[in-house]
């Protein structure tokens, strides 16, 4: 059976491709989820893709990832990145290798976007690659999993 990864997108990422293309590009959330499914499949993984505008639902899915024995999480927590101790705690609680992703370069934007509560609970963070960041995150996650499996 293929191993499962969870790809979680937080608040307002359902609006991708509809506004602010100069920051977020033209691709939609459906494009992101297709890219993730294809990338995961090419690496022998199954991607479970979810998006929510609600912090608690994201936390429930992080817990569900552990219950379902997911081997990795790719998380774009949207605006909760910069505010959510609860999402940080959920990630620390489940102990699943996590990659943080942002479509935009958060460090080239407002100073309130420069701090991430997710980064401390992640083994890698990617930002500024547009939606290609999700492909890079899944590829890096798979490489880490296979390096761990060989160690």
Strands 98-102 and 124-127: parallel
Of the listed 80, 88, 102, 134, which one is catalytic? Answer: 102
For residue 15, state whether it binds ligand CA2 (rule: CB under 6 A).
yes
For residue 118, state whether it binds ligand CA2 (rule: CB under 6 A).
no
CA pair distance 11, 9, nearest whole angstrom? 7
Structure tokens at 24: 């977020």
For residue 130, state whether it binds ligand CA2 (rule: CB under 6 A).
no
Three-state secondary structure of 64-125: HHHHCCCCEEEEECHHHHHCCHHHHHHHHHHCCCEEEEECCCHHHCCHHHCCCCCHHHCCEE
Binding mask 47-86 for ligand CA2 (x = CB under 6 A): -----------------------------x-xx-x-----
Of residues 96 and 128, the one with the C-beta less far from ligand CA2: 128
**Contact positions toward ligand CA2, by CB under 6 A?**
12-13, 15-16, 18-20, 24, 76, 78-79, 81, 102-104, 106, 113
């Amino acid at each position: 059976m293929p191993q499962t990864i969870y790809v979680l997108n937080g608040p307002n990422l359902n609006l991708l491709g509809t506004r602010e293309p100069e920051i977020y590009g033209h691709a939609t959330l459906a494009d992101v989820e297709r890219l993730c499914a294809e990338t995961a499949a090419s690496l022998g993984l199954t991607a479970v893709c979810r998006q929510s505008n609600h912090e608690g639902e994201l936390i429930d899915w992080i817990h569900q990832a552990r219950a379902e024995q997911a081997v990795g999480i790719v998380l774009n927590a949207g605006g909760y990145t910069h505010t959510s101790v609860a999402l940080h705690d959920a990630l620390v609680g489940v102990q699943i290798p996590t990659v943080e992703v942002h479509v935009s370069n958060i460090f080239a934007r407002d100073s309130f976007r420069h701090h991430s509560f997710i980064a401390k609970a992640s083994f890698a963070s990617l930002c500024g690659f547009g939606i290609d960041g999700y492909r890079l995150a899944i590829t890096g996650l798979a490489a880490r999993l296979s390096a761990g499996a060989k160690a």
